[in-house]
Structure 1
Amino acid sequence: MAHVSQAHDQAGAAGAVPPRTPYEEAVAAIWRDILGRPDVGALDDFFSLDATSLQAIQVVSRIRKTLGVDIPVKDVFQEPTVAALAARVQAESASRRSALTRRPADAEPVLSFDQERLWLESQLLPPTAYNVHGRRRLAGPVDVAALEAGVAAIVARHDALRARFPVIDGQPVQIVDPPDAQWRLETARTDSLAAALRLADRQAETAFDLALGPLFRCLLVAVDGSDGSGGGTNGATDAEPEYVLSVTVHHIVADAWSIGLFVRELLALYAAGGDPERAGLPELTVQYPDFAVWQRAHIAGEELTGQLAYWRDHLAGAPPVLAMPVSRRLAVPGGGIERARAELTGAESAALGDLRRKHGVTTFMVLLAALGATLGRWSGRRDVVVGVPIAGRADAGTHALIGFFVNTLPVRVDLRGDPSFGDLLARVRQAALDGYANADAPFDVLVKELQAPRDPRQTPLFQALLNVIGPPEAETVAGIAVEPLELPALPSKFDLALTAQERGGRLGFDLAFNADRYHGSMMRELLAQVVALVRDALEDPGRAVSELGGAPGAAADSSDASGSADGNATAAAWTPHLAVDRFAQQADRVAVVGADGEHGYRWLARAADRVAAFLGAREAEPGRVGIARHPTAAFVATVLGCLKAGLEFTVTEPAAGVPASFLGLSQLLDTEETEGLSTLFEDLKEPLPAAESEATTHERDDWAVARFGFSRDDRFAAPATSPGLLVSALSSALSAGATLVMTELTPAGGVAELGDWLRSQAVSVLYTAPPLIRALAAADLRLPTLRFALVDNAGDFLPHDVEAAALLSPDCRCVSLYRVGQDGRPVAVYAVPADFTVASAPLRVPLGTGAVGLPHPSGRPAAIGEIAEIRADGRRTGDLGRWRADGVLEYTGLAGADPGQDLAEAASALRDVAEVRDALVTEQVGDEGDAIVVAYLVGPDPDAGTSGIRRYLISRLPEWLIPGALVVVGALPLTAEGDHDVALLPRTDPGAATEVYVAPRTPMEQQLVDVMAALLAVDRIGVHDTFFELGGFSLLATRLTSRIRDLFDVELSLRDVFEAPTVEGLAQLILRAQSEAFGGEDLEGLLAEITAAD
């Protein structure tokens, strides 16, 4: 429920002007009753009386009921005094809204729209995801019999608590059991409050059976020896008797309002001896099933059309997904929930009240602005959608009912133009009020009408929820002190849910998050930034939102840092020539093995000196020197010579006959073409072996040597890398006194041959691109001597590179490198920890904390979690990143790219499939300009089809990332530098991307085709066609499972249909279930029926 906490601040006395007209008196009476104030004047301001947005909704509902006038909630905000609102009510005609009445006796037992949505989602989420829980501590002698009588009276009083939801003819229906249905209060006894709470937790974590019921449980636990008889203690202690009252109910029959209502009615009944009339409980003229029937009839026609039109316009162009820093891929809602907590001080809470009164907003609106702004920073969006629960009890007849009325509104927070916080409040206020005015459209109807993209990992339209609830109520009834207790973190449908509540004059925050998806450290930081933004806004709401809240990232204080204390940074300059000079005294050390033979460090040092002298004697234009790349020691000597000569250089591919100026270079050096240079090494012979000198101790100049302890025993290779990475490998190898091995072989000529060469050279340190390391593993190659794989990995998915490196050698450690530009040296490095696993891998690539910075466009350092453009040595890179809470920089994509449309995520999901060894997903454009996303797969049997893989993707990915075509190839072609060569992949006709029609091959498949055809009204269905792509939806899938049960005597769940939505997939599930029913006999034989006709 979206409302603000009541401060109970009585400082604002009633206005001096009493109500002057019948309408003013009527409105004032409604305010007095709802706000609990004895005196309300004509000029009193609603929000100056510490009213909440929920109470504003109640006022509108009460006005509708008592005065017959229908006004929108926003009128209470725009006309906040009694006089102004009364004038507005007087000017309005009677409401055209139909009143909620009892359903006809012969009405079908239907579900409300929200119940239907929740029933369907309950089939897909963990069984306790929709358990609603409440608990109270009772201090004092409790008459257990009277308490049980009170609970029984409530169960008899409210139809919702006696409802259950069986499936009849494939459709869930609402059945209400009679009031005399058996029900009892569960009781237990423990010796401590902690033990009592554990029992309550166990009750809250126990699933309900929606079809059988009951969907309500109540537990009373006696603590510290209370005998439960109402007569005090059992003699073991003189302490006051203590109990824990725990209530758990399925959300389909109750909401949070209902829990509070249940507790209030129970206490009133207990005090009245179980008599509803003596307890003063209002007569219930309608029940929840009446509301369900009324809603189906009322939420239709012109009114619904108008509300849907509003939401269609409000959400047009809204981002479908928040690109938040997830820690694990493919996590689904409802996983393990953890919490982060924070609190404003009493003074800050009071200042927030002043702020909201000044701007005419509620606490909820202030927090919505703060949360939306923080989520915008973290997702790289200037436009964020947040879910907002609303009571859904617009009709006053629902206020005293237990039931599931709450609706959820997707409210858009517009951050464009970097508004001040005050301006953002105005935007949020208007968006919230407009949402309230269109709150009758049920969320599931809204999703269907807007055709929100399907994503099995998260809710449609929004992924973060904000809820502000009133302060807990402690009271004393019949000598029993009643105190609310903290609730456990149960599984939730939402990945992020922020709840705010005032306790003791302080506004507290509770952020519940899916721990299977998000790191706790990052979520604690997210909450801290929301609270920091609120605090800054209280100081100066006129400041731009971008200037409020958020602490700089751990390493974000410098955009040109050159190192870090933990050695995780890269060096500012290469100095391998210095190491070569030092190692030249050790004549037995082999420096380079290449196409021109094997050469030692002494030879290399002398050759580098000759190159430096050669360059010094040449007259050349100032500027960058180009060095043509060759797999030779002469090439390495030329690189070292340039370093000795102090020249800036870049490595290029050989370009015979091409002028240097054409390449933007001052001169181009080619050891096979450049006059004078090509003959420079001819008379340079290896010297006679000299006596081995003592190993010298020197400062390690190379970042990789310092970080990973490379030694003279290592053998380095960089056979398929960018020029910059090649020079990095050269620098590390020579700085360690190790051997650099070079070859003319490239991945373009065949991965198997290159792999054999790497094994024959006993390579221990490999510099490579991600596609090559995966291709080597996909080809079943093994490199037993490999210790390190340094992967040029920005923009790709690290987890599968780690997995590939482990396949090549179990002892191999994977290191992710980040470079800037084609020939840039690594500026950041992430050494993958030893306990890293694919299952717990981050979605994006951690870059480490090297010579990089992350400034916000405003000039301030980016906060932890905030997306900004990465800078290296002060230069813009065109890449986006964010600081993690552990001080590691994480790559999030290219600047200007949509963070929710990353095709690499689809490729990563494909690599998770057991039979897929490697995958590439790319977009292809046809001759007529029509585009299609195509996935190329290595590993699957090309004759087996790809329907199973497609089913997996449908169950794991948002629909916009599911490839239109899956193509099996023998290998992914690579370029000479180890990247994918997309031009060599087979083309796919966008017009023929759908799977070839395959007719039913067995009687079972034919029966399934007939059932689907009848449900979908489709003439021809192939065994690989997808139920949902043919027009199926969740409720229709329920009818499908019902037909399957009738035909095959097999129970399939709704989740089964989502995960195996084809005729072939469902047939396999049915055969598997039948096999298990018969003791698992000949499962393979049964499944063979499906493929026998292929």
Structure 2
Amino acid sequence: MTTLSLISIVKLLERANDAGIIVSFSNDELALSVRKGMHINQQILEELRQHKPSLIQYFQQHKVKENSITDAPHKMDRDKQRRLPLSFAQERLWFIDKLQGSIQYHMPWVFNLEGRLDRLAMESAFRMVIVRHEVLRTVILEDDGVGYQDIKPADEWHMTYVTEDAIHQSGHSVSSYITHITSLPYDLSADWMLKVTLIERETNLYTLCILLHHIAFDGWSVSILVRELTALYLSYAKGVKPVLPPLALQYADYAIWQRQYLSGNRLEKKIAYWLKQLKDVQPLAFPTDYPRPKEQIMSGREASLVCNDILKNALVTLSQEEGATLYMTLLSAFNALLYRYVSQNDICIGSPVAGRQQQQLESLIGFFVNTLAIRSHITGEMPFSALLQQVRQTTLEAYEHQDVPFEKIVESLGIERDMSRSAVFQVMFALQNTPSVTEPDLGEIRLTGENNDTATSRFDISLTITLLDSGMQIRIVYNDRLYSELRMEKLLGHYRNLLESIVADKHTTIGELGMLGSDELQQLLHDFRSPAPVIPAEEKTLPALFRAAAARTPAATALLLKILR
């Protein structure tokens, strides 16, 4: 049995985490568990068993070095706290809200319900979720410029009920009414973080609008809310007392723990890595279609395409051959795409991580997600396989330091604030690996999701890949004040073409990877090649040809050298 290196152990644990397998260590024993809604990956499970001695040794050393088991989040003694502090992530969103508002952090969902709905059971189910998860009834108050959490009593929460006739009488359609209530700014010092509106359209036909603020909720929380809401509604509708497992701690406990754990020398050592990694980082010079506003406007649109299973499986195989994860390969390809667009050698991309490294946080609703800044150095002459190995190494190091909140990194970097763009990076990349979410099973109620056309873009460009049973979806959310729909649809196609070129030959250099589609190649090779003009003999000298061209198109650009014309 071979002994794994530190990097190999971290990589194996990262792959296990991506597959939903939680590896924990207590009393010198290794324990494995699988997140709800995730299928067991037998191959990774077998690797974990084979390398059990190396993993135990790693956790023993890690425990001595970081005291990670002792310092895991736990229920805190709140009596010792004058105020309940905000988590670092909450604090940054609170600052953003005070500075420019936070509509871009609204999280709305709209469903149509058909059947005999028990309104009282529905309201009771939502209220019990709020009872269980304090963060959904937490407001943010201020004391001498410092924000703190204040928890409201759950019995004051109510679901809003309105009929379609009443909406029409107010001058709204149902659609415009939903747009109105979901775009009203939150008052973080007073509003419930979870707002629910039930619209009765006609007998046994309803529309349910659920609105949350990101400061109390993240993508991981969705599956928790759906699971608990389903169980609670069915219990209340049947007149049965609901039974859900108790929560070991609340989000406020986590915030107190985080403030204590990430402080002093421990925080300084972890931030030192990021200060070195992100020194002199520059904005991405991605060409815009429209002038960049002086202040960032979060208006957004989205586009998507689906790649087939053949491409997905080929990318998985390539990743395994290179000792990397699929996430690393897809991120490397996105780096290559951006390089081909801007010819910028130094590229920094943001990428979210769940921020729930400890098992006791997995059943808790809240804002845990953190963001990693992954920086790459690229040239057109390097093979894609070399870029992948660089991204792999950088990503593994970032994972080792992922518990440092991005907010503290930005603060420590001391970057001068530019109101026109986000700090450190302007482009995001994500591979969805949160627990799978199924639509709530409300018994006899037929439930269908409704498309929400409103989109906001917190960054210039955000690319998200979701693995499907037969392929993968590539979705882009972009700032439509900067980019046109045509450019972004082309970017999606170029990314897919680049992936196909990569699986064809991973050793191809970045500059030579195929990116253009067949229609674009047709234009370049044929459509743009017009027959050579007939030129009189006396005009065949270069100066004469130049004068003739200038006379025909006097406003055209004569010479383009980078930004000089």
Query: TM-score under structure 1 normalisation?
Result: 0.44
> Is 1:540 the equivalent of 2:511?
no
Letter in 2 for 1:557: L
How far is 1:319 from its partner? 2.6
How far is 1:159 from its partner? 1.2
Contact residue 103 and residue 293 of structure 1 kept, 8 A: no
Q: What CA distance in whole angstroms lies between the structure 2 residues aligned with 1:454 and 1:335?
A: 17
Contact residue 205 and residue 490 of structure 1 kept, 8 A: no
Cα gap change, 1:402 to 1:32, in 2 (>3 Å): closer
Cα gap change, 1:413 to 1:204, in 2 (>3 Å): farther
Cα gap change, 1:82 to 1:486, in 2 (>3 Å): farther
How far is 1:308 from its partner? 1.2
- 2:324 match: secondary structure: coil
Select the residue among 30, 37, 52 that pairs with 2:33: 30
How far is 1:136 from its partner? 4.3
Contact residue 350 and residue 373 of structure 2 kept, 8 A: yes
Task: Give the corresponding residue for 2:189.
Answer: 211
Task: Give the corresponding residue for 1:182.
Answer: 157
> Is 1:505 the equivalent of 2:470?
yes
Contact residue 472 and residue 503 of structure 1 kept, 8 A: no
How far is 1:421 from its partner? 3.0
Letter in 2 for 1:30: S
Task: Give the corresponding residue for 1:260.
Answer: 223
Select the residue among 99, 111, 119 that pairs with 2:94: 119
Indicate the structure with greater helix content. Answer: 2
Task: Give the corresponding residue for 2:79.
Answer: 105
Contact residue 333 and residue 498 of structure 2 kept, 8 A: yes
Q: What CA distance in whole angstroms lies between the structure 2 residues aligned with 1:5 and 1:481?
A: 36
Cα gap change, 1:274 to 1:352, in 2 (>3 Å): farther
Task: Give the corresponding residue for 1:45.
Answer: 44
Cα gap change, 1:246 to 1:350, in 2 (>3 Å): farther
**Higher mean C-alpha displacement, 400-409 vs 308-317:** 308-317
> Is 1:519 the equivalent of 2:519?
no
Task: Give the corresponding residue for 1:423.
Answer: 386
Cα gap change, 1:25 to 1:532, in 2 (>3 Å): farther
Q: Paired residues, what number?
A: 526
Task: Give the corresponding residue for 1:353.
Answer: 316
Task: Give the corresponding residue for 1:934.
Answer: none
> Is 1:493 the equivalent of 2:458?
yes
For residues 877-1026 of structure 1, what are the structure 2 equivalents within 5 Å? 879-880=561-562, 892=563
How far is 1:387 from its partner? 0.6
Q: What CA distance in whole angstroms lies between the structure 1 residues aligned with 2:155 and 2:432?
A: 35
For residues 245-394 of structure 1, what are the structure 2 equivalents within 5 Å? 245-273=208-236, 279-330=242-293, 332-394=295-357
Q: Which has the higher contact order (CA 8 A, sep 6+)?
A: 2
Deviations 1:239-258 (A, max 9, x none): xxx54433211111211222
Task: Give the corresponding residue for 1:528.
Answer: 493
Select the residue among 147, 153, 164 that pairs with 2:139: 164
Contact residue 466 and residue 498 of structure 1 kept, 8 A: yes
> Is 1:459 the equivalent of 2:422?
yes
> Is 1:399 the equivalent of 2:362?
yes
Q: What CA distance in whole angstroms lies between the structure 2 residues aligned with 1:647 and 1:893?
A: 26
Task: Give the corresponding residue for 1:819.
Answer: 558
Contact residue 125 and residue 493 of structure 1 kept, 8 A: no
Q: What CA distance in whole angstroms lies between the structure 2 residues aligned with 1:535 and 1:302?
A: 47
Letter in 2 for 1:517: L
Letter in 2 for 1:547: E
> Is 1:83 the equivalent of 2:50?
yes
Q: What CA distance in whole angstroms lies between the structure 2 residues aligned with 1:203 and 1:362?
A: 41
Q: What CA distance in whole angstroms lies between the structure 1 residues aligned with 2:193 and 2:371?
A: 22
How far is 1:376 from its partner? 1.4
- 1:173 match: secondary structure: strand
Deviations 1:247-293 (A, max 9, x none): 21111121122233212211111122289996443212321122222
Cα gap change, 1:258 to 1:572, in 2 (>3 Å): farther
Contact residue 125 and residue 333 of structure 1 kept, 8 A: no
Query: TM-score under structure 2 normalisation?
Result: 0.81
Q: What CA distance in whole angstroms lies between the structure 1 residues aligned with 2:49 and 2:389?
A: 23
Q: What CA distance in whole angstroms lies between the structure 2 residues aligned with 1:427 and 1:274?
A: 55
Contact residue 333 and residue 499 of structure 2 kept, 8 A: yes
Deviations 1:673-732 (A, max 9, x none): xxxxxxxxxxxxxxxxxxxxxxxxxxxx9556656xxxxxxxxxxxxxxxxxxxxxxxxx
Q: What CA distance in whole angstroms lies between the structure 2 residues aligned with 1:409 and 1:483?
A: 35
How far is 1:322 from its partner? 3.0
For residues 789-868 of structure 1, what are the structure 2 equivalents within 5 Å? 815=555, 817-820=556-559
Letter in 2 for 1:496: I
- 1:405 match: secondary structure: coil
Q: What CA distance in whole angstroms lies between the structure 2 residues aligned with 1:548 and 1:277?
A: 61
- 1:267 match: secondary structure: helix
Contact residue 344 and residue 506 of structure 1 kept, 8 A: yes
Q: What CA distance in whole angstroms lies between the structure 2 residues aligned with 1:202 and 1:5?
A: 43
Q: What CA distance in whole angstroms lies between the structure 1 residues aligned with 2:35 and 2:91?
A: 37
How far is 1:99 from its partner? 2.8
How far is 1:417 from its partner? 6.0
Sequence identity (%): 25
Cα gap change, 1:283 to 1:364, in 2 (>3 Å): same
How far is 1:26 from its partner? 4.7
- 1:557 match: secondary structure: helix
How far is 1:314 from its partner? 2.0
Q: What CA distance in whole angstroms lies between the structure 2 residues aligned with 1:353 and 1:483?
A: 33
For residues 1065-1076 of structure 1, what are the structure 2 equivalents within 5 Å? none
Letter in 1 for 2:67: R
Cα gap change, 1:562 to 1:311, in 2 (>3 Å): same
CA RMSD after TM alignment: 3.9
Q: What CA distance in whole angstroms lies between the structure 1 residues aligned with 2:529 and 2:503?
A: 38
Cα gap change, 1:96 to 1:120, in 2 (>3 Å): same
- 2:79 match: secondary structure: coil
How far is 1:473 from its partner? 2.3
- Which is greater in Rg? 1
How far is 1:154 from its partner? 0.9
Show structure 2 runs of 5+ residues with no match. 1-13, 20-24, 166-172
Letter in 1 for 2:33: I
Q: What CA distance in whole angstroms lies between the structure 1 residues aligned with 2:552 and 2:534?
A: 14
Contact residue 333 and residue 495 of structure 1 kept, 8 A: no
